[in-house]
Amino acid sequence: MRYGGFRAAAVLCLLSVSLAQSGNVENKKKPSSTAYITAYHIADPAPGSTYETGPLHILFSDGTDVVQDLPPKQRSTENNIVFNQEGFSDVQLAEDRQTLGWTETYDNCCTSYTVPLVVVLYRPGKILRRIDSAQMVWSWMFLEGGKRVAIVWGPTHGPEVGDFVLYDVKTGKVLGEVYGDADTQSLKPNAPEWAKKLEERLNGGVAGK
């Protein structure tokens, strides 16, 4: 299994550190109740910025441009090493055109690159929830038109056997969980269909929604 076209190469150090706890900062513009998402894009970082990306823009059918800004960076202390969010990645729009999701990328003590650690779910007017498991997001996708979200978590180093988890978007409740097979480095033949679709996406295939 692969992440971003390369094999992850180091242990994710999260035991004695913490993620910056401010989340995305959204502007005050709100779309109308009947508006739907028409487009989205991640802006480039501003000149001289220390971030990996710029803000995330969410464009609606009524012309509203909702901007998700990156939170201010926090300083690490002797007793608390903080991993700051560096950018946005892997933005996906559900079939309902009302539910959008993306991953937040963070500093990592043991790699030369940032890693995605949080999946954020958004519907017009608010962020529904931020899902993390103290592991790297290998891949994720919406299912059932945006009612469910499937995420595969895993370490950045070691046996590439992911933890596939299915969540209810509205409640955040875990609806199912299955692990890859250590011997085959893939799901077992009797794995649920939602997990197989996610595995297909993880491996570069085109999975259904």
In tens, the pLDDT along 145-187 reads 999 999 999 988 766 678 999 999 999 999 999 998 878 888 9
How confident is the model over 31-73, as pLDDT tens digits? 998 999 999 999 999 999 999 999 999 999 999 999 999 999 9
In a domain, 147, yes or no: yes
pLDDT of residue 13: 42
Asked, for residue 209, whether it belongs to a domain, the answer is no
- Please state the separation of Cα 10 from the chain's center in Å: 19
- Residue 2 located in a structural domain: no
CA of 18: how far to CAs of 12, 133, 205, 208, in Å?
12, 13, 34, 35
Task: Note down the domain range covering 125.
Answer: 17-202
Between these two residues, 200 and 12, which has the higher pLDDT value? 200
Q: What is the pTM assigned to this prediction?
A: 0.84
Residue 141 domain-assigned (yes or no): yes
Share the mean pLDDT of the chain: 85
Strand, coil or helix: what is 124? coil
- The span from the first CA to the last CA of the chain, in angstroms, equals 21
User: Is 6 among the domain residues?
Assistant: no
| Residue 136 domain flag | yes
Q: What is the pLDDT of residue 8?
A: 35
Select the more confidently predicted residue: 122 or 18: 122
pLDDT value for 11: 36
For 196, the enclosing helix (H) or strand (E) is helix 193-202
Pair of tokens at residue 109: 């003590």
136: domain CATH number is 2.40.128
Is 208 within the bounds of a domain?
no
* Number of domains into which the chain is organized: 1
Please indicate, yes or no, if residue 207 is contained in any of the structural domains: no
In this predicted model, which residue has the larger pLDDT, 203 or 65? 65
